[in-house]
Structure formats: C-alpha cells, structure tokens
Amino acid sequence: GQNIDQPTEMTATEGAIVQINCTYQTSGFNGLFWYQQHAGEAPTFLSYNVLDGLEEKGRFSSFLSRSKGYSYLLLKELQMKDSASYLCAHSIYYGGSQGNLIFGKGTKLSVKP
Amino acid sequence: EPEVTQTPSHQVTQMGQEVILRCVPISNHLYFYWYRQILGQKVEFLVSFYNNEISEKSEIFDDQFSVERPDGSNFTLKIRSTKLEDSAMYFCASTRAIQETQYFGPGTRLLVL
C-alpha cells in the first residue's frame, strides 16, 4: 500500500532553520515532491527528488534516501511568510498509473518572531 | 508565467444537484488530474487523464463522477448527484510529462447543503 508520515505541527523562530521529515512506503516509486500550502489556497511546488541526495533551491533544500523511504525539507532563514503547511507527496508510476500524487497529511509550520 | 486556472472559485449547491467544475490546464501539458481536499484533511487523488481518456481513478471517483476534455483547452469534472460529503476544495493539476512537476490550479470550493 501507499503511506506517508510527517509530523502534524512544528514551530520555529524567524531567521532559524527548520527540518521537516517525511517517511513513506510505496511500490512503483517515481519521485518525492514537497509542496507548500497556505490556508485556503492551492499547493505550490517547492522541490522534487527522484534520485538520492540533496537538492538545493535558494532557502529551500530537500533530501531523499530511497533505500530508507525517507525525505526531509530544510528551510533556512525562516521568514514569517513561511508559516504554512508543507506537504510531502510521492508520485507513483506502475500498473498504468500516470504519476498521480499521494500526499501526506502535511506539516503545519508556525514561524514566530 | 503560464498557470492552471479553475472556475468557479466557489460553488454552493443543494444535495442531489449536478455540478460541473472547470479547469484550463497549462497549454503544452499532456497529463491532467483532479484532486480534492476536505477541510482539515489531506489532498486526495481522484482521477488522471491522458490522451482523451481516464488513465486511473481512485476509490473516491465512483459512478457519480465523470471527467471530460470537451475542447483543446478545458478539462471538466462533473458530479452528477452531489452528496453532503462531496463538500471540499477541488484542485485541478497538469504536467507536461509524468516525471515532471504537477502544477495546481487555485481550486474550487464546493459546498453541498
């Protein structure tokens, strides 16, 4: 089956660094995505890993270990506007699946001054 | 920058009524998806669509749901006889290729009374 686990909530301080972890179990793995979602809005793409290792994109980095079924999103120099939910999702591609995303429940990050 | 658009942004309907949610995917994208998010819950896959036919559908996508690409730009989700539990945010997404990022539209908030 498909399963994704991530912490429900996290709190961090403006200017700090925060790491949001995600573990998953799946077959037919085709990539790990991180999306940001502000309340009442659509998910917006942050980062994508298909191979093991670290992908860096400005203040955001994402890491993947396929053997461990583990990923994390690292946010540096936190800003108040980073307060949002962060969604971990994996893409599956097997048995006719066309890359549909399976999402975790999201981690609600609160950034405090 | 091209983006996915959706109409209407909000829809209120009576239980048992039919609703049609509309999406215009990014123009050079080939794969289209519908997801839904019940308030406070995770984003859930409904259906994927490629080459003018459904590629895959989830257990949620029962006989009350249908999708259509009536012309070269629009992609619609129809719910034939709405139920209270259909109240949710419905997101359309599109991508150029399975291995690439899915971009989400702003969503339609559906409320069934």
Question: Residues of B with CB below 8 A from A42's CB?
Answer: 91, 104-107
Mean pLDDT in chain B? 94
Q: Which pLDDT does position A93 carry in this prediction?
A: 67
- B1-6 mean pLDDT: 90
Judge contact between B8 and B107, C-beta under 8 A. no
The 10s digit of each residue's pLDDT in A61-107 is 999 999 999 999 999 999 999 999 999 998 876 655 667 899 999 99
How many other β-carbons are positioned within 10 Å of the β-carbon of residue B77?
Answer: 24
The 10s digit of each residue's pLDDT in A29-42 is 778 999 999 999 99
Nearest CA in chain A to B51: A98
The 10s digit of each residue's pLDDT in B72-113 is 789 999 999 999 999 999 999 999 987 788 999 999 999 999
Nearest CA in chain A to B46: A100
CA of A88: how far to CAs of A8, B6, B66, B73, B97, in Å?
A: 12, 24, 28, 29, 20
Q: Which pLDDT does position A95 carry in this prediction?
A: 56
Question: Residues of B with CB below 8 A from A104's CB?
Answer: 42
- The percentage of residues in chain B with a pLDDT greater than 70, rounded to a whole number, is 100
Rounded-to-10 torsion of CA B60, B35, A105, A85: -160
**Mutation choice for B interface testing from A9, A101, A102, A107 by most B CBs within 10 A:** A101
Q: Nearest to residue B44, comparing CAs of B89, B3, B9, B78? A: B89
Q: How far is B15 from chain A (nearest CA, A)?
A: 23
Look at A106 and B42 and tell me if their CB atoms are within 8 Å.
yes
Q: How far is B50 from chain A (nearest CA, A)?
A: 8
DSSP B84: G
Q: Which pLDDT does position A4 carry in this prediction?
A: 93
Judge contact between B68 and B58, C-beta under 8 A. no
- B15-20 mean pLDDT: 97
